[in-house]
């Protein structure tokens, strides 16, 4: 049995002969002229069990930042930045320096196997201050523009890799079927056909086969495998502090699961050649039994090994979600065993999690014991490590392990932000346009109000600077108010609560909607909470899909006192528009979560670009209608899936 301890107290047991000294001929795995399969085989044959298990292990940057030698002594294969986990100076250069510091520690290992560094670049490299922040996926689904989505993926890859990370935990290819789910905005839409059409994002991230080693490409991750968008809403959990829908159970037939959950992974693997897959926190229950009968995806051998790897011939590797194996039944040893035998290859096991004192430092000795005791076969370890090494060779990390900073000056560039602005304009969905209220005339006096008119934190949503995002988070860019002020030729009067006097003959624009959230806490009926100091310690609002009292009042006030009244809904999902409020509204626009370029909203308001967006999800009349999706037998939404007026 091999011992591994955190903190460098005992180095990894390295039992194979030393690697060649300086000046010796390169070993086969070090020869870039050889086929990748040959290099993988050669390197695998030189590795100890400790080195192999190290490759299967991923730590969080906070775990190793004070002592990067932990990477060396434990032969760690990967490090990630969770949401909001950034260097002290959140700049591209500081990111690149940080990743390179960890990489040098990995290169100090006996075999010099480089790290792969992962980050949630889900709508641009959102952790990095100054990166281009694109609309979230629900807005991109509204564009119906696969080529634009591919371009966005490419820019995201370029900005991510130029700052160090070579791996994006994106895209989410879930089919969101219940808007009460707090991750709805991570989905491109409610139909598999729409989601599949947007998987061009994988091509943008990875490039064509053979381009992964380019300085503007990263490894992509299709997530969350599978069925995270199909979980049933748990009414009993609402208001209890639990998550009513996130990480829940898919109570569907296998036929429905194949269509709505598995089908998007077929083109992701066979057409787009995605390099990694991340299992979902959710569970499956095809038999309609009790909760105890549900199978957690992190332990689902039938789907991970059987369907994904064997049936679909997936050649990449499977990475857990954040401490995902710890939701499996049994003690930690049983959890590790179940996950490894299910077919998971790499383990995201951060130590720095609230009330969880152990992570990868517990995973390594646990798996080591399981192999030593014969409960996990070496063939399963070799398969996992081979897949991980292949990705590292394909990324060119053995030849160029340190950050290629060629494109670092392009991060957040004018050209990149122009693409984001175009995406914002194309994502806007015009739902109501009474008497051709829109486009507005530039010469008109405009009165702007509402909670989301001048708040770039709300506009960017979750996964921006921090995990859950924040109303007080600020990224470079334009708010919607900024965009209106630049587009308008007449006077612009702004009052967040509509308390200022409305000028005579002014047209009104009221920007309402949600405050930021991400998984779990974004569930309707989920907990109210205070997470990060970015919101000044104020409790975050419970999510309801209902407009706030202040926003409703702002709409009523402005619509009663202006010549025309346009309401923009900035949100990660449809919001409920009361009939009386809708009657007062002349124009209604679904603006989604546009990101950093609020000028794109102004572009369609003022006719610089036409409204062309179509609803990627059904817009309900009431929350009680959820889940509501196109094709339902009883289908009476406020606005149907695919609806969208045009001003083209």
pLDDT (tens digit, 9 = 90+) per residue, 476-516? Answer: 999 999 999 999 999 999 999 999 999 999 999 999 999 99
Give me the pLDDT at residue 13, please. Answer: 38
Give the strand order in the sheet containing 429-433: 429-433, 587-590, 565-570, 507-513, 446-449, 492-495
Beta 295-296 vs 283-284: how paired, if at all? antiparallel
Continuous segment of H or E residues that includes residue 178: none
Give me the pLDDT at residue 8, please. Answer: 37
Give me the pLDDT at residue 298, please. Answer: 98
* Active-site entry in 120, 285, 321, 426: 321
Give me the pLDDT at residue 14, please. Answer: 39
Residues of the chain within CATH 3.20.20.300 domain(s) are 45-409
Peptide bond into 171 cis (omega under 30): yes
CATH superfamily of 428-527+539-625: Glycoside hydrolase family 3 C-terminal domain (3.40.50.1700)
Neighbours of 497 (CB within 10 A): 13
Give me the pLDDT at residue 9, please. Answer: 32
pTM: 0.95
Task: For the chain, report the end-to-end CA distance as a whole number of angstroms.
Answer: 69
* Active-site entry in 178, 519, 523, 532: 519
Give me the pLDDT at residue 538, please. Answer: 65
CA separation, residue 560 to residues 150, 161, 499 (Å): 43, 51, 13
Nearest in space to 59 (alpha carbons), one of 340, 319, 348, 389 = 348
Query: Do 629 and 184 contact (CB within 8 A), yes or no?
Result: no
Give me the pLDDT at residue 621, please. Answer: 98
Q: Which of 3.30.300.30, 3.30.365.10, 3.20.20.300, 3.40.50.40 is the CATH number of 45-409? A: 3.20.20.300
The answer to whether 256 is a known catalytic residue is no
Residues of the chain within CATH 3.40.50.1700 domain(s) are 428-527+539-625
**Which ranges of the chain have pLDDT less than 70?**
1-23, 353-354, 530-538
CA dist., res. 247 & res. 454, Å (int): 33
The answer to whether 321 is a known catalytic residue is yes
Give me the pLDDT at residue 23, please. Answer: 55
CA dist., res. 330 & res. 328, Å (int): 7
Burial 501-538 (b: 16+ CB within 10 A, else e): ebeeebbbbbbbbbbbbbbbbbbbbbbeeebbebbeee
Total residue length of the chain: 648
């Amino acid at each position: 049995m091999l011992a591994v301890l955190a903190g460098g107290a005992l180095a990894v047991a390295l039992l194979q002969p030393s690697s060649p000294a300086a000046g010796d001929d390169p070993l086969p795995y070090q020869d870039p002229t050889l086929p990748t399969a040959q290099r993988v085989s050669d390197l695998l044959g030189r590795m100890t069990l400790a080195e192999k298990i190290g490759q299967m292990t991923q730590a969080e940057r906070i775990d190793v930042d004070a002592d990067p030698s932990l990477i060396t002594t434990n032969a760690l294969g990967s490090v990630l930045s969770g949401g909001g986990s950034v260097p002290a100076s959140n700049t591209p250069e500081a990111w690149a320096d940080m990743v390179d510091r960890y990489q040098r520690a990995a290169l100090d290992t006996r075999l010099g196997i480089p790290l792969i560094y992962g980050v949630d670049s889900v709508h641009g490299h959102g952790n990095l201050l100054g990166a281009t922040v694109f609309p979230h996926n629900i807005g991109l689904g509204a564009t119906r523009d696969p080529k634009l989505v591919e371009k966005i993926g490419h820019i995201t890859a370029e900005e991510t890799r130029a700052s160090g990370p070579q791996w994006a935990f994106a895209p989410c290819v879930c089919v969101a079927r219940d808007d009460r789910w707090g991750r709805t905005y991570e989905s491109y839409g409610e139909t598999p056909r729409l989601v599949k059409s947007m998987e061009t994002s994988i091509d943008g991230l990875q490039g064509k086969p053979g381009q992964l080693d380019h300085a503007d490409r990263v490894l992509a991750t299709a997530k969350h495998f599978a069925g995270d968008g199909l979980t049933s809403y748990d009414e009993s959990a609402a208001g209890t502090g639990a998550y009513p829908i996130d990480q829940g159970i898919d109570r569907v037939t296998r036929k429905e699961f194949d269509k709505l959950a598995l089908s998007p992974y077929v083109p992701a693997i066979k057409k787009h050649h995605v390099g990694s897959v991340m299992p979902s926190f959710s569970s499956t229950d095809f038999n309609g039994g009790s909760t105890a009968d549900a199978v957690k995806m992190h332990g689902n051998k039938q789907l991970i090994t059987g369907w994904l790897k064997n049936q679909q011939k997936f050649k990449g590797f499977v990475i857990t979600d954040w401490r995902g194996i710890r939701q499996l039944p049994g003690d930690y040893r049983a959890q590790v065993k179940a996950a490894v035998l299910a077919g998971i290859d790499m383990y995201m096991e951060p130590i720095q999690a609230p009330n969880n004192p152990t992570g990868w430092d517990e995973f390594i000795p646990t798996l080591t014991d399981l192999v030593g005791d014969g409960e996990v076969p070496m063939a399963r370890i070799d398969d996992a490590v081979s897949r991980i090494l292949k990705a590292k060779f394909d990324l060119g990390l053995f030849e160029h392990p340190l950050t290629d900073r060629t494109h670092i000056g392009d991060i957040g560039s004018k050209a990149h932000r122009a693409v984001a602005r175009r995406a914002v304009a194309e994502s806007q969905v015009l739902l109501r346009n009474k008497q051709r209220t829109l486009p507005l005339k530039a010469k008109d006096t405009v009165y702007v109000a509402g909670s989301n008119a001048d708040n770039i934190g709300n506009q960017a949503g979750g996964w921006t600077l921090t995990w859950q995002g924040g109303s007080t988070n600020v990224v470079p860019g334009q708010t919607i108010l900024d965009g209106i002020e630049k587009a308008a030729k007449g006077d612009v009067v702004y009052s967040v609560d509509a308390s200022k006097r409305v000028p005579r003959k002014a047209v009104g624009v009221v920007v309402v909607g949600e405050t930021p959230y991400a998984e779990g806490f974004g569930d309707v009926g989920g907990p109210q909470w205070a997470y990060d100091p970015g919101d000044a310690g104020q409790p975050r609002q419970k999510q309801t899909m209902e407009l706030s009292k202040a926003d409703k009042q702002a709409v009523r006030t402005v619509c009663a006192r202006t010549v025309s009244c346009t309401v923009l809904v900035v949100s990660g999902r449809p919001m409920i528009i009361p009939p009386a409020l809708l009657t007062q509204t002349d124009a209604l626009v679904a603006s989604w979560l546009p990101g950093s370029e609020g000028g794109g909203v102004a572009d369609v308001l003022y006719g610089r670009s036409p409204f062309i967006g179509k609803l990627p999800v059904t817009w309900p009349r009431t929350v009680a209608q959820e889940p509501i999706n196109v094709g339902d037998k009883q289908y009476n939404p406020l606005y149907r899936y695919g609806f969208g007026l045009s001003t083209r």
